[in-house]
Amino acid sequence: MAAGIPEPAPPHRPVRRTARSIRHHVGDGLGWGLSIFAFLLLAGAFLSIIGDVFLRALPVLHAKLFTEITNGIGGGLKNAMEGTAVLSLGSLLLAAPVGIAAGVYLSEHGAGRWGSALRFLSDVLVGVPSIVLGYVGYITLVIYLGWQFSVAAGVITLAIMLLPYITRSTELALRSIPDAVREAGYALGAGEGHIVFQILLPGAASAILTGIFYAIALSMGETAPLLYTAGWSNYMWNGHMTQEPIGYLTYVVWTFINEPFKESHMLAFAAAFLITFGVLMLILLGRWMLARAQGKLGAYN
């Protein structure tokens, strides 16, 4: 580093611009310029994605989308919207109890070897490609159990994907509650179940809910795990858990864009618009809720 130290300038004399200091100024300018450029490029990509989807979807956002079902090349998106809602909420119903339980375990008893192992496996599960989960769902649920393309197969596959995210957000939420709160509970004679259900989970509710919102957003946007588990249907869901395929919005985006008809393309963009804005709203809502809750008096931070 010695070479990088400039001579201290004597006081009351204008600093002489040496060749080195000019080079440093140019280097600094270049460095900042490149990092600003990197940011602008990413912000531009974000705006381009959002803007493109929005502008192309705008002309087709009729009430028809919400009242009609899809046919081969066009129609509305009523069935797909219903399917996305069923699959997201269904997978959440399965994943939330398990994920929250794992999160509670990690934050309350996670210091030891078992905790590290669980944390590690959860991190590994995040990294499993979603298409692999979809394929396993296909060979086990669809083929081996004979459920065919169905709600149950799609929901279980999605739920496995969501587990590690819910676990992690729950663990982080609970860990931010100080130990003194737990000790106060034990001192009053509460059992562990009481403390978790009546003190810890309500206290961390907003942070956990933010994680749940994130999980819903994630499940809404997924396609790969559903392709070979949920299948596709042009009709409304008839309430059967197995043997009946179900439609969902992301499928519309990826298949209808390959059709040669303008109407199909417009439907694909409309579906993309609905998912993108649904997802972004959920995530922003979660962040806002968390920020608001943390600003409140007596919040655990």
Partner 1 sequence: MKFPIFRISLVATASLLPLSLVGVIVFLVLYSWPAIQYNALHFLWVNDWDLGNLYGNPITQHGQQIMPGARYGIWFLVVGTLASSAMALALALPLGIGSAIFLSEGLPRTWGTPLSLFVDLLASIPSVVYGLWGYAVLVPLLGQHVYPAMARALSFVPFLGGRPGSGYGLLTTSIVLAIMVVPLISATLREAMNTTDTALKEAGRSLGLSRFQVIRHIVLPNLRTVLTGVSILALGRALGETMAVLMVSGNALNYLPNNIYTPISTMASFIASQLDSALQDPTGMAVEALSEIALVLLLIAVVVNIVARLLLWMERIR
Residues 198 to 257 in contact with partner 1, rule: CB under 8 A:
214, 217-218, 220-224, 227-228, 250, 253-254, 257
115 CB-near residues (< 8 Å, 6+ apart): 105, 106, 109
What whole-number distance in Å separates Cα of residue 77 and Cα of residue 62? 11
- Burial class (CB within 10 angstroms; exposed 0-12, middle 13-18, buried 19+) of 268: buried
Binder of partner 1 out of 59, 72, 97, 178 (CB under 8 A): 97
Among 22, 26, 45, 145, binds partner 1 (CB under 8 A): 45
Task: Please report, as residue ranges, which positions from 48 to 77 form the binding site for partner 1 (by CB under 8 A).
Answer: 48-49, 52-53, 56
Dmax (CA) of the chain: 87
Q: Is 133 in the site for partner 1 (CB under 8 A)?
A: yes
The correct pick among 14, 112, 189, 193 for binding partner 1 (CB under 8 A) is 193
Q: Which residue among 22, 36, 89, 236 contacts partner 1 (CB under 8 A)?
A: 36
How far, in Å, are 22, 155, 192, 196 from residue 26 at the CA level?
6, 56, 62, 58
Question: Among residues 18, 23, 26, 42, which is the contact residue for partner 1, using CB under 8 A?
Answer: 42
Which residues sit opposite 75 in a β-bridge?
A: 70
Task: Tell me: does residue 164 bind partner 1 (CB under 8 A).
Answer: yes
CA distance 293 to 284: 14
Min dist CB 137 to partner 1, Å, is 9
Find the shortest distance in angstroms from Cβ 9 to partner 1: 10
